[in-house]
Amino acid sequence: MRRTRGSLYFTAGYLYFGGAGFLLAPQAMLMIFLAEGIYSMVTLRLLGAVMLGMAMLVSAIIEQATASLYRQVWLATIPMVAALGYVYYDSLDRMWALLLTLVAAGSFSTWLCLHLDGRTAERKEP
């Protein structure tokens, strides 16, 4: 599960960056993500707090090397990708397209690593 654990660093990274950014400097994050819409700072700060909480959970899973939860982390990204896809479709704001791309890339890399690590484990079993 070495590869899968490594792929979760990407997930934790964007969650920490986005979480801290949206919590502490939401206006700057809107500029970084090329936002075109008008968003409530309160809502963006709440988004940041939720992202930081998720980052802490993912970091704890990485730190503890809890392989049994790696699949659950990947499964948790599926509704996030779907929701971000819908929000982008509904708003056509570039910010949501960028966030969708980041989360989908992390989800895909975690899925790929889970798949490759699973195949490696199957070959090692007698």
Q: Output b/e per residue, 37-70; b: 16+ Cβ within 10 A.
A: eebeeeebeebbeebbebbeebbebbeeeeeebb
12-70 pLDDT tens trace: 999 999 999 999 999 999 999 999 999 999 999 999 999 999 999 999 998 988 778 88
Q: Give the span between the Cα atoms of 41 and 61, in whole angstroms.
A: 30
Structural domain boundaries in the chain: 2-121
The C-alpha angle 79, 30, 21, rounded to 5 degrees, equals 75
pTM of the model: 0.84
Burial classification of residue 35, based on how many CB atoms lie within 10 Å of its CB (0-12 exposed, 13-18 middle, 19 or more buried): buried
Q: Given this model, what pLDDT does residue 41 score?
A: 96
Q: What percent of the chain has pLDDT over 90?
A: 69
- Residue 20 three-state SS: helix
